[in-house]
């Protein structure tokens, strides 16, 4: 090889070819629709985060923690005061006491908690059942663990648990089932009867439950949240995940928490210590101080129900068909009386031409659903909701 040839080879380094761990995963629809909303100046009711601030007192509590010197690594599972507050809260609301030392861990958001739970509990070749439609991180997390995703549709009317479909999906390779209530994207909620049916189905098995309950404080019309933690038989085999970001309107803080029986939590922490290790110290201290007042949780259902009712009342004058919304901060609508476009194309049109961004329900499925449905987020100020409704009233 000549000097010139060797020099050219050195001057043009080559990136080695890679085999993707997630070959079917691209940019999420949430990023796509938010970018499109910004481009067209649309009201963004797509991505699921509030456009209003958290309570000033919570921010002040975090600032006070910083000023007090709480700025170094906390204990790996989370500061004791916060874990103790979570234990007390869960016992008060659901009747189960988790040991704060061995059964509660603070996480870098709920998505990290989901991934860590799956990496800790699922082995290559295991099957994990997910109920579709479902949050888009579930499938990739299972794939990264070497597991196989088994998809069971929720009922087409009301998106409720199909216990017979779930029974048919169980196999000797089933390691876990991942459930979500209140449900993203549909806003459906599980009942105590659903939890009992699941317990009876799983009783003769060793199947674990990973319960995504990040919207636990957004259940409406006076109904209680049916938590896995409130069902002793299920709680004994479950990892229960929630989110301070969703609860206190601080999604950018990325702080969540997990509760599980000690043997499951021990496995969870083995993974947690290496993929996160620990979570933002001053925010943990601020949240612990904030939770000293139990009313912080008690006021949330009514707060979000007012937003839901305002948004649904405004949409009732349009050609959208409103689906039930007993929980979460998402409203799904059927748009078949407006357009025959596929749901993603409809969302793109709605963003560009009407000026309101939504999320297509197909983003939550492996196989697109037959019914034309999109999801709006109503965790917005009254001004934002009213402007969106003004634009949607053209429909």
Residue-wise pLDDT tens digits, 191-242: 999 999 999 999 999 999 999 999 999 999 999 999 999 999 999 999 999 9
Q: What is the Cα–Cα distance from 174 to 150, expressed in whole angstroms?
A: 9
pLDDT of 206: 98
Tens place of pLDDT per residue across the chain (395 aa): 565 555 555 567 888 888 889 888 877 888 888 899 999 999 999 988 899 999 999 999 999 999 999 999 999 999 999 999 999 999 999 999 999 999 999 999 999 999 999 999 999 999 999 999 999 999 999 999 999 999 999 998 889 999 999 999 999 999 999 999 999 999 999 999 999 999 999 999 999 999 999 999 999 999 999 999 999 999 999 999 999 999 999 999 999 999 999 999 999 999 999 999 999 999 999 999 999 998 888 899 999 999 999 999 999 999 999 999 999 999 999 999 999 999 999 999 999 999 999 999 999 999 888 899 999 999 999 999 999 999 999 98
pLDDT of 27: 78
Check whether residue 230 and residue 274 sit in a common domain.
yes
Check whether residue 228 and residue 284 sit in a common domain.
yes
pLDDT of 129: 98
Do the beta carbons of residue 250 and residue 244 sit within 8 Å? yes
The DSSP code for 194 is H
Check whether residue 318 and residue 362 sit in a common domain.
yes
pLDDT of 15: 87
User: What confidence tens digit (pLDDT) does each residue in 165-191 have?
Assistant: 999 999 999 999 999 999 999 999 999
Give the CATH number for residue 215. 3.40.640.10
Query: Which pair of tokens denotes residue 237?
Result: 């085999």
* Closest among 244, 281, 255, 268 to 80, alpha carbons compared: 281
pLDDT of 2: 62
**In terms of residue numbers, what domain contains 202?**
57-292
Tell me, yes or no, whether 227 lies in a domain.
yes
State the sign of the Cα–Cα–Cα–Cα dihedral 379, 382, 384, 387: positive
Tell me, yes or no, whether 172 lies in a domain.
yes
Check whether residue 314 and residue 221 sit in a common domain.
no
Structural domains of the chain, count: 2
Helix spans in the chain (H): 3-11, 29-40, 56-67, 80-94, 110-121, 138-144, 163-169, 192-202, 232-235, 244-247, 262-275, 281-290, 295-298, 300-315, 343-349, 382-392
Tell me, yes or no, whether 356 lies in a domain.
yes
pLDDT of 101: 98
Check whether residue 225 and residue 339 sit in a common domain.
no
pLDDT of 10: 58
Please, how many CA atoms are within 13 Å of residue 162, restricted to the half-sphere of its CB? 20
pLDDT of 378: 98
């Amino acid at each position: 090889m000549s000097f010139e040839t060797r020099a050219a080879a050195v001057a043009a380094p080559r990136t080695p070819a890679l085999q993707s761990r997630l070959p079917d995963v691209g940019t999420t629809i949430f990023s796509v629709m938010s970018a499109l909303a910004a481009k067209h100046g649309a009201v963004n009711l797509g991505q699921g985060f509030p456009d209003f601030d958290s309570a000033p007192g919570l921010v002040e509590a975090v600032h006070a923690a910083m000023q007090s010197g709480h700025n170094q690594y906390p204990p790996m599972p989370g500061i004791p005061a916060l874990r103790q507050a979570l234990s007390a809260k869960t016992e008060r609301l659901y009747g189960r006491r988790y040991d704060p030392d061995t059964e509660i861990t603070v996480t870098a958001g709920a998505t990290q908690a989901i991934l860590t739970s799956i990496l800790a509990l699922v082995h290559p070749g295991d099957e994990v059942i997910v109920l579709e439609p479902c949050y888009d991180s579930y499938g990739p997390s299972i794939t990264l663990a070497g597991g196989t995703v088994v998809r069971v549709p929720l009922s087409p009317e009301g998106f409720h648990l199909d216990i017979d479909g779930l029974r048919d999906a169980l196999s000797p390779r089933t390691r876990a089932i991942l459930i979500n209530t209140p449900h993203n994207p549909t806003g459906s909620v599980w009942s105590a009867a659903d939890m009992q049916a699941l317990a009876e189905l799983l009783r003769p098995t060793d199947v674990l439950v990973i319960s995504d309950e990040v919207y636990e404080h957004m259940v409406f019309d006076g109904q209680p949240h049916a938590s896995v933690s409130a069902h002793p038989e299920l709680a004994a085999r479950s990892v229960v995940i929630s989110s301070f970001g969703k609860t206190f309107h601080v999604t950018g803080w990325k702080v969540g928490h997990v509760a599980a029986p000690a043997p499951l939590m021990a496995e969870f922490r083995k993974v947690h210590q290496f993929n996160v290790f620990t979570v933002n110290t001053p925010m943990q201290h601020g949240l612990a101080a904030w939770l000293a007042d139990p009313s912080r949780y008690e006021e949330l259902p009514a707060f979000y129900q007012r937003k839901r009712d305002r948004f649904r009342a405004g949409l009732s004058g349009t050609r959208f068909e409103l689906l039930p919304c007993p929980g979460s901060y998402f409203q799904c609508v059927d748009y078949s009386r407006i357009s025959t476009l596929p749901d993603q194309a409809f969302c793109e049109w709605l963003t560009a031409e009407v000026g309101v961004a939504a999320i297509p329900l197909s983003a939550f499925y492996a196989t697109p659903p037959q019914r034309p449905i999109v999801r709006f987020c109503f965790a917005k100020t009254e001004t934002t909701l009213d402007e969106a409704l003004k634009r949607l009233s053209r429909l």
